[in-house]
């Protein structure tokens, strides 16, 4: 297979400007595309059947069979391959020491109605999640426990931001992500089977003593404020993770992982 690479050395090139703009949410939304960087992450995407529309390669990269496989997949899909300098990759990625492999991907939107709740016994639901690192970690947890997907409720951080994609370590390509407001999510949830379990400080019920249904939707609240009282009231079950030290709660992504593995153990 013949691989044609477009050599770009100028910062003012329109392709550079278009790729760089995807670091901002408004441009990602307008273009319906997002950035992902690193050979490992892009290989995870390729193995999931997802290849970038545009592949950017650093001129100083080392030869690697995974890069060859990635280039072949992009060409086969009709994508474009660019070869460029480290400085331009740095401008696109926003990192001083950029990866030598970067991809521009089409959005991976999933509607609630497209979700198959029978796909798994565990689902994660994040309410008003603000930190991209937490969101990426929750995606990794979903992948680790075989969760059906991650549902983002209300105004959450963009799951396709560079930071969230990086933190997901490739899970953004393997885990369905749906977004909805609270009312829309509740209507969808109550239209079929599913137990809504919230984590809260406003209960004395230990998470290790609960009966978890199938499918179980684990609702994790905002990092700073937790779940609003009205949201807690809609839960079928509220549980608490005991805190033996002075901290009153766990990090949201850590709490999601603890809960997910407990549900997994109970459902096994």
pTM of the full structure: 0.92
pLDDT of amino acid 248: 66
**How does pLDDT run along the chain (268 residues), one tens digit per residue?**
678 899 999 999 999 999 999 999 999 999 999 999 999 999 999 999 999 999 999 998 888 999 999 999 999 999 999 999 999 999 999 888 888 999 999 999 889 999 999 999 999 999 999 999 999 999 999 999 999 999 999 999 999 999 999 999 999 999 999 999 999 999 999 999 999 999 988 898 999 999 999 999 999 999 888 899 999 999 999 999 987 777 766 789 999 999 999 999 988 7
Q: Are 129 and 156 in contact (CB under 8 A)?
A: yes
**What's the CA gap between 198 and 230, in Å, rounded?**
12
Q: Are 185 and 151 in contact (CB under 8 A)?
A: yes
The domains found in the chain, sorted by start residue, are 6-106 (3.30.1330.30), 112-267 (3.40.1280.10)
Indicate the SS3 state at residue 184: helix
Instruction: Respond yes or no on whether the N-terminal peptide bond of residue 43 is cis (omega within 30° of 0).
Output: no
CA distances from 94 to 23, 24, 164, 167, 173 (A): 8, 11, 14, 15, 22
- What are the tokens at 175? 């885990």
Q: Are 81 and 6 in contact (CB under 8 A)?
A: yes
């Amino acid at each position: 297979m013949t691989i044609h690479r477009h050599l770009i050395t100028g910062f003012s090139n329109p392709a550079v400007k278009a790729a760089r703009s995807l670091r901002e949410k408004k441009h990602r939304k307008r273009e319906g595309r997002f950035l992902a960087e690193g050979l490992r992450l892009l290989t995870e995407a390729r193995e999931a059947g997802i290849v970038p529309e545009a592949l950017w390669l650093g001129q100083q990269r080392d030869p690697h069979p995974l890069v060859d496989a990635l280039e072949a997949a992009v060409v086969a899909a009709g994508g474009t391959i660019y070869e460029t300098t480290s400085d331009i990759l740095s401008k696109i990625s926003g990192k001083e020491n950029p990866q030598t492999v970067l991809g521009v991907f089409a959005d991976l939107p999933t509607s609630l109605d497209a979700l198959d709740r029978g796909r798994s016994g565990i689902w994660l639901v994040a309410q008003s999640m603000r930190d991209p690192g937490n969101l990426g970690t929750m995606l990794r947890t979903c992948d680790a426990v075989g969760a059906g997907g991650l549902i983002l409720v209300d105004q959450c951080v963009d799951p396709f931001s560079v930071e969230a994609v990086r933190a997901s370590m490739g899970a953004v390509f393997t885990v369905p992500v749906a977004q909805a407001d609270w009312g829309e999510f509740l209507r969808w949830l109550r239209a079929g089977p599913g137990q809504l379990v919230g984590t809260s400080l406003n209960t004395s019920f230990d998470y290790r003593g609960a009966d978890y249904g199938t499918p179980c939707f684990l609702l994790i609240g905002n990092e700073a404020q937790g779940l609003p009282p009205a949201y807690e009231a809609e839960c079928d079950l509220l549980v608490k993770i005991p805190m033996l030290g002075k901290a009153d709660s766990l990090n949201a992504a850590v709490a999601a992982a603890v809960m997910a593995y407990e549900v997994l153990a109970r459902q096994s």
